[in-house]
Amino acid sequence: MLALIIDLDNTIYPVASTSGTLFKLMFDLIAKAEFELSKETIETAKKDIQRTPFHKVATMHNFPVELARQGSELLRNMEYKGGMDVYDDYSYIKSLPARRFLLTAGYTRLQMSKLACLGITDDFEEIFIVDPDFTSETKKEVIQRIIDKYQLRKEDIIVIGDDLESEIKGGRELGLKTFLMDAANRYPDEPDESKGTKLSEVAKVL
């Protein structure tokens, strides 16, 4: 039976639709004069935070230790309670006769609050959260763990996500079919047959 391993942020819903509310405190934090970040770094980091886990963004931009600590603490205790919605054709994913597993990275409290707001928690057989407080696992390692736990056949699996360097890379290295959800066309050089701007385009790799 088909098995889908699906990312959350920018795969099932657009982060940009909530970032003004969700990340306002974070954006204010990194812009504080005491951290002495350049305007260019601040603006680039704001974009990166919307598509990459904060602890990785902190490393990418060499954030001061105190900024990294405060940012992690802020997200660790955050819950999202505003309005949000899935991409329009998420219903296509739900309609497929498949086992569905969610694989997301971030702090557990925040990620679970997003799922609650979206109302999709029950759409998945199991939810896996790569929380930096509890694990140093890569998504590739978690994918392998899902395969082992549920005794999945590799030929039945499709990994769906928006990040070439995370779940998509992991899936490819494990020899799995992948679908790159590239709604913002961040990866123009990727072959069209393995990516799309809509979830219904997963049909390309079935």
Instruction: Quickly list DSSP for 152-195.
Output: --GGGEEEEES-TTTHHHHHHHTT-EEEEE-TT---TTS-GGGE
pLDDT at 75: 87
pLDDT at 23: 81
To which residue do tokens 């799309």 refer?
A: 196
- Report the percent of the chain where pLDDT is more than 90: 79
pLDDT at 89: 95
pLDDT at 81: 86
Amino acid at site 132: P
**Structural fold of domain 2-13+83-205:** Rossmann fold (3.40.50)
pLDDT at 18: 81
Pseudo-torsion of CA 81, 87, 88, 89, nearest 10°?
-130
* DSSP 8-state symbol, 99: E
Report the C-alpha gap between 87 and 101 in whole angstroms: 18
Amino acid at site 144: Q
pLDDT at 61: 93
pLDDT digits (tens, 9 = 90+) for 7-34: 999 999 999 888 677 788 889 999 998 9
Backbone torsion region of residue 151, taken as left when φ is above 0, otherwise alpha when ψ lies between -120 and 50, otherwise beta? left
110: Cβ–Cβ under 8 A, 6 or more apart, which residues? 75, 76, 78, 79, 80
Amino acid at site 3: A
Residues of the chain with pLDDT under 50: none
pLDDT at 52: 87
21: Cβ–Cβ under 8 A, 6 or more apart, which residues? 80, 82
User: Structural domain boundaries of the chain?
Assistant: 2-13+83-205, 19-76
pLDDT at 53: 85
CB-based contacts of 51-58 (< 8 A; 24+ apart in sequence): 51/9, 51/10, 51/15, 51/162, 51/163, 52/163, 53/105, 53/106, 53/130, 53/132, 54/26, 54/106, 55/132
**How much is the mean pLDDT over the chain?**
93
Say if CB 160 and CB 178 are below 8 A apart.
Answer: yes
pLDDT at 195: 96
Q: Among 190, 55, 42, which residue's Cα sits nearest to residue 130?
A: 55
Instruction: State the first-to-last Cα distance of the chain, in angstroms, to the nearest integer.
Output: 12
pLDDT at 154: 97
